[in-house]
Structure 1
């Protein structure tokens, strides 16, 4: 009696409608008839790369439109398909246990970047006019990166950029300012449109901006301020910039160890719990919940963008770092001042963000939580798949409600 035959005689055979290509860096990707792109094999889930020299007689050239063309100088054959694709080798799956710790809580951002040249790289750092965001942006600029300072306060941002230029005048051309007010999705949309009109590719998207210890208030969009600024606007901004990121890009979301003290659960998480009314508002719990949202969002985003080869990491910069985060309430300003001798400097606090953005040993990894320049386990609730997808769905609905039912596609 004949047995059932497999759909193909090789697990590497592509499903109908898919074709295989390679980018200019040799990374293999797959495209279907609907122009959907995957950076892993649609059937096996494995990644590949072409390596070595072109076969004898082949040359790589650019045609008149700048597109890469492969030419066989012997036969005159021309093709846009890399002739090495037939011999592409599988990229070994990286295990996080193979990554060894190189830095710790005392490491500075500039020490993480030692020896690295980021010339030609482009970064977006939100909230980069002060504190940890400023040190993050400054460190990247000092190593050749072009950084977009994305902030609400133009004067403060110009002063921040001026202080970098004072260190070295030539750095001014690497510092760009685009206005961004995370308290309104209209401003987020304008920011994204402005950025997309200036650049076509983004290497580092660093979601640093956030607020802490605010008295109850609502945004122009009618939501509780801590939730919108710290999570929802970042959710919308990231999805709006999807076209600028690819397998060479990393997304870094700043959270906090405070996410472990959230009171959100799968049963109680809804729009009112995320954006509570004044009668149910406590500033510290609003912050804890927003920080849990950061972790849930980063992990869910990592899963959704994994096939595109984009690494997404979430990190804790440090406990009670002396920055302007505590500026909204005298009690927290006093607490931060008292513990200042025992906490990280701003340069040390920026180190984990910089490590997540630039460390070569993290290539191929995604969805990890970092503290002190090394990955660790986030809270148990943040690891619940249903929590991650539920937050995404609620956030998607809230954005579309604000945008008057325009059905923004995530």
Structure 2
């Protein structure tokens, strides 16, 4: 089978698919023949990204879903729409995320970094897991960051009342890793795999909404950052590579397995974070 047909019968959902690594990921998966569902909070940007995908000769169908994933109500609506409109779900790419130098609170009363970077993929994955399990060989790929190595889950201040943008971001990325490892344990032998990708420091509009962050990230170091396409390469690989069939609980960078931080492998912390996340999202099984 040629690479352009590798995912010809697969349906993939990419959150944050309107720009940066997410858009490049969607393009890479479409080039492999997948039906790609782009999730973005801005309809115009999502439609623009979808138009680009439809110009890829090998692309399957392209679907657009509009949702602000910092809102739990919109995450729930999105999950319902995905299950209604898509007959199958082979791959869920949890890519959406952000960094803010200043503290913001969502409509749910939750600090924005924790809400978008951790609780959104936690809740969306939990709402879609039955559909994934029903397929029997689905994949979950979550985009994290090496910043997880500097993170600490502060259960006394998950909402970052004592705010530092970097500390909040590090905590949320550590949350991604802890969540994935706990998810792997809970999925057991369902056939669904869950893996993590650190894409590297990438040249995107990441942090553009917060001018203090944007100016810092678009300064002297920006020319040395990776392109979105290079950042997305391992995400596309993790979502599609035949050699990863059945491989779960991996942490990958540049298509190579890496060992995540000691804190990320603390099963007690992972279980507690799972339970707290359930309480904050109102979901349980």
Given the two structures, how large is their TM-score scaled by the length of structure 2?
A: 0.93
Equivalent residue number for residue 273 of structure 1: 157
Contact between 2:183 and 2:194, CA under 8 Å: does it hold in 1? Answer: yes
Shift of 1:346: 1.0
Is residue 147 of structure 2 the alignment partner of residue 263 of structure 1? no
Contact between 1:200 and 1:244, CA under 8 Å: does it hold in 2? Answer: no
Counterparts in 2 of 1:281-300, with a 5 A limit? 281-300=163-182
Equivalent residue number for residue 61 of structure 2: 174
Equivalent residue number for residue 145 of structure 1: 34
Shift of 1:188: 0.8
The CA deviation string for residues 285-322 of structure 1, in whole angstroms up to 9 with x for no partner, is 11000000000001110111122111100110112x11
The CA deviation string for residues 228-272 of structure 1, in whole angstroms up to 9 with x for no partner, is 0111121111010012113310000111001111133xxxx32x5
**CA RMSD across the alignment:** 1.8
Distance (Å, rounded) in 1 between the aligned partners of 2:56 and 2:86:
26
* 1:381/1:294 CA distance change after superposition, 3 Å: same
Equivalent residue number for residue 213 of structure 1: 100
Is residue 204 of structure 2 the alignment partner of residue 315 of structure 1? no
Q: Could you say what secondary structure the match of 1:307 adopts?
A: coil
Counterparts in 2 of 1:155-166, with a 5 A limit? 155-166=44-55
Counterparts in 2 of 1:67-86, with a 5 A limit? none
Shift of 1:337: 4.0
* Structure (1 or 2) with the greater helix fraction: 2
Counterparts in 2 of 1:378-397, with a 5 A limit? 378-397=260-279
Q: Could you say what secondary structure the match of 2:119 adopts?
A: helix
Equivalent residue number for residue 76 of structure 2: 189
Equivalent residue number for residue 234 of structure 1: 121
Contact between 2:251 and 2:257, CA under 8 Å: does it hold in 1? Answer: yes
Contact between 1:147 and 1:175, CA under 8 Å: does it hold in 2? Answer: yes
Equivalent residue number for residue 85 of structure 2: 198
4+ residue runs over 6 A deviation: none
Q: Could you say what secondary structure the match of 1:273 adopts?
A: coil
Counterparts in 2 of 1:12-23, with a 5 A limit? none
Distance (Å, rounded) in 1 between the aligned partners of 2:123 and 2:164:
25
How many residues align structurally?
Answer: 281
Counterparts in 2 of 1:39-118, with a 5 A limit? 114=3, 117-118=6-7
* 1:214/1:159 CA distance change after superposition, 3 Å: farther
Equivalent residue number for residue 252 of structure 1: 141
* 1:309/1:166 CA distance change after superposition, 3 Å: closer
Distance (Å, rounded) in 1 between the aligned partners of 2:61 and 2:204:
24
* 1:364/1:331 CA distance change after superposition, 3 Å: closer
Shift of 1:180: 1.7
The CA deviation string for residues 203-237 of structure 1, in whole angstroms up to 9 with x for no partner, is 11000000112421100100000100111121111
Equivalent residue number for residue 340 of structure 1: 222
Unaligned runs of at least 5 residues, structure 1: 1-112, 401-407
Contact between 1:322 and 1:337, CA under 8 Å: does it hold in 2? Answer: no
Contact between 2:206 and 2:214, CA under 8 Å: does it hold in 1? Answer: no
Say which one has the larger Rg. Answer: 1
Shift of 1:342: 2.4
The CA deviation string for residues 171-194 of structure 1, in whole angstroms up to 9 with x for no partner, is 4x6110112211111111111111
Contact between 2:101 and 2:164, CA under 8 Å: does it hold in 1? Answer: no
Shift of 1:160: 1.3
Distance (Å, rounded) in 2 between the aligned partners of 1:313 and 1:339:
29
Higher relative contact order (CA 8 A, sep 6+): 2
Q: Could you say what secondary structure the match of 1:274 adopts?
A: coil
Is residue 284 of structure 2 the alignment partner of residue 409 of structure 1? yes
* 1:239/1:335 CA distance change after superposition, 3 Å: closer
Shift of 1:161: 1.5
Given the two structures, how large is their TM-score scaled by the length of structure 1?
A: 0.65
Equivalent residue number for residue 76 of structure 1: none
Unaligned runs of at least 5 residues, structure 2: none
